[in-house]
Amino acid sequence: MSSKGTAEKIIEAALHLVSEKGYTAATTKAIAELAGVNEVTIFRHFGNKRGILKAIIEQFSYYPLLQQELNKNVTWDLETDLLNFSIKHFNFLMSIKDFVMIGFKEAMQFPEINEEIANIPLHIKTELIHYFQEMHDRGKIREIDMEAAALSLIAINFGHFMSRARLGTFVSNMPNEELLKTSVSIFSRGLAP
């Protein structure tokens, strides 16, 4: 419960509250309360309210977490690889859910967060295109616009993520893996020659 633990508690509370209510509505008083810390402690640690989010941005560098996973276990079997990718992509988004939500809500006030979020699909797109190109050269994918294909797969996974993260089981209570399995089954068959 030293200094480090306190700062972390504040960051966690802020991450949760800001992602839920937005930056302006998440008051320092409420953040302090949720963190189980006196309000003054927030200012002693981070200077001002923006400082909390600034610390969050600096502390987390999310994308590398996903990138190093993606290139693992490539089998060059289309459906196997895409399912593997989709599950990782989906779980990655779920793991940074609060961060993504803040990025969406506070794009104006914190362009840095928004930019970091926006870069994720951009990076993934590049890697997917490479993969699709290689698969095409191996004769395992038909002639198609690779960029559009990559964007579509990203869109599916992101759509599933948003549905689950925001609406829970309201739209469907199908298990995530089953849903991804079917969507990848359709998608990979649609890509096959």
Partner DNA sequence: CTAGCATGTAAGTAATTACTTGCATGAAAG
Partner DNA sequence: CTTTCATGCAAGTAATTACTTACATGCTAG
- Give the interface with DNA as residue ranges (CB under 7 A): 2-3, 5-7, 24, 26-29, 36-41, 43-45, 47-50
Nearer to a copy of itself, 95 or 126 (CB): 126
Site for a copy of itself in 36-55 (CB under 8 A): none
Binding mask 147-166 for a copy of itself (x = CB under 8 A): xxx-xx-xxxxxxx-xx--x
Pick the binder of a copy of itself from 3, 71, 133, 182 (CB under 8 A): 182
- Per partner kind, with CB cut-offs from 5 to 8 A, the member of DNA, a copy of itself, none near residue 36 is DNA
For the beta carbon of residue 108, count every other beta carbon within 10 angstroms: 8
- Per partner kind, with CB cut-offs from 5 to 8 A, the member of DNA, a copy of itself, none near residue 3 is DNA
C-alpha span between 100 and 118 (Å, rounded): 10
Any idea how long the chain is? 193
Site for a copy of itself in 86-105 (CB under 8 A): 104-105
C-alpha span between 191 and 166 (Å, rounded): 30
Site for a copy of itself in 106-145 (CB under 8 A): 106-109, 118, 121-122, 125, 144-145
